[in-house]
Amino acid sequence: MNLFDLSLQFNGFPIKKAERILKGIQAQPDQAFEAYVENKKNEIVTYHIQNNSFYSNLVNDVKVTDWNSIPVITKRDLQIPLQDRLSAGYNLKNVYINKTSGSSGDPFIFAKDYECHALTWAVIKNRFGWYGLDFNSSKQARFYGIPLDKKGYYKERFKDFLSSRFRFSVFDLSDSAFEGYIRNFKSTPFAYLNGYTSSIGQFAKYLERKNLVLKAICPTLKACVVTSEMLFDSDKLRMEKQFGVPVINEYGASELDLIAFQNLENDWQINSETLYVEILDEANNVLPLGDEGRVVITSLYNQAHPFIRYDIGDIGILSEKSSVKKPILKKLIGRTNDMAVLPSGKKAAGLTFYYITKSIIEDDGLVKEFIIQQTHLNTFKIMYVGVKVLSEEKMQQIRDEMTRYLEPNLTVIFERQEVLERSKSGKLKQFSSLIE
């Protein structure tokens, strides 16, 4: 039974229709594909100018046919209540709503129309299919976080059941936790690993210390897919050696789509079917292939919410061998998260702090940006830009979450600032450790 597809259909996401649309896009010859992209760009901009008052006010009187005249937008532009950003005919009850992880320091709530979200899953399924992986049948070892509140926890566990996956917590990356992982891999026919790069990398280091190869323990393994954080060559080599399977690099953004996926030729192939990706300089000029610049993306199918020339906050390079139909991401700079090392010796992935700080990620715009620094073994500083100082109740709530997700007796300092220091790329690193 195709539980994953059925669950999407049941929740209103027309996955079968989306897969037919995707196949039609992919069947277009190279010569026709450029015209397809240009048509979709003009179509989505025109749609939002005519149907989205927020976007039409943002762009003023641009010429739809002059793509370079269309302004670049950032998360800051979008940090107003969600209902004020939706197109005509859409409301909070008939769209897919989610939050970004806040890894860039600019968290916000976004929406997609149901067909757009179904297309997102169609693309993801297509890319995993390159490696013989099927969300309906291939068992996934999932290295992601999970909410610890009862409702959120069981919701994610149910989604895991429908998606044929078992979730390994990234909140505890100790050797004792990894010993439990090994027992699971011995008893479960996993087809692939999928999750945060840093967490899976720590598991590979454990296997290296123990002189173990995961495929020898779990012979059904086919691949490992890493996402959300930078994958360095040395880490990839270690993972492939200790897992005994290919390591596949994924680059995505929850508000957009799957952006790039490592293909069978070992190239980081960009999703040209539902996205239009540009590399721009600081003056918003399109850079030649091979030059380093800002990654700016247009969602070609999201009618509910405009993501047009959207600066995702990363720096990247498009390969010189790119074509309109098959653009290749040569290099991505950023998306690295440090590990948190606690007084007990326990380690936790940097993205753990998304789950801890989610209480300050609100749609009312009170907190615009935040970063977290580990200043000492037991001390964490949360620096934020907000309309007003966080209440004592909210600060205590975050301290309690630190204890629940990590361990007790941690010191949490809150510091409201006018602006937050950004990296050279212009991106905020959500978590960084200042200790050796």
Give residue-wise pLDDT tens across range 109-159: 999 999 999 999 999 999 999 999 999 999 999 998 777 778 878 888 888
268 CB neighbour count, 10 Å cutoff: 22
Q: What is the pLDDT of residue 228?
A: 77
pLDDT category of residue 317 using cuts at 50, 70 and 90: very high
Residue range 257-279, pLDDT digits in tens: 999 999 999 999 999 999 999 99
The number of helix segments (H) and strand segments (E) in the chain equals: 12, 19
Q: Which two tokens stand for residue 331?
A: 């290099």
Residue with tokens 């905020």: 428
Q: What is the pLDDT of residue 427?
A: 44
Q: What is the pLDDT of residue 273?
A: 98
Across 294-319, average pLDDT: 94
Q: Which long-range contacts (C-beta less than 8 Å, at least 24 apart) are formed by 3-8?
A: 3/136, 3/161, 3/162, 3/163, 3/164, 4/135, 4/136, 4/162, 4/163, 4/164, 5/135, 5/136, 6/162, 7/159, 7/162, 7/163, 8/118, 8/121
pLDDT category of residue 394 using cuts at 50, 70 and 90: confident
Closest C-alpha to 258, from 269, 242, 247: 269
Q: What is the pLDDT of residue 268?
A: 96
Kindly provide the b/e burial profile for residues 334-368, where b requires at least 16 CB atoms within 10 angstroms of the residue's own CB: bbebbbbbbeeebbbbbbbbbbbbbebbeeeeebb
pTM above 0.85, yes or no: no
Closest C-alpha to 335, from 314, 355, 365, 363: 314
Q: What is the pLDDT of residue 335?
A: 47
Residue range 36-89, pLDDT digits in tens: 999 999 999 999 999 999 999 999 878 888 999 999 999 889 989 999 999 999
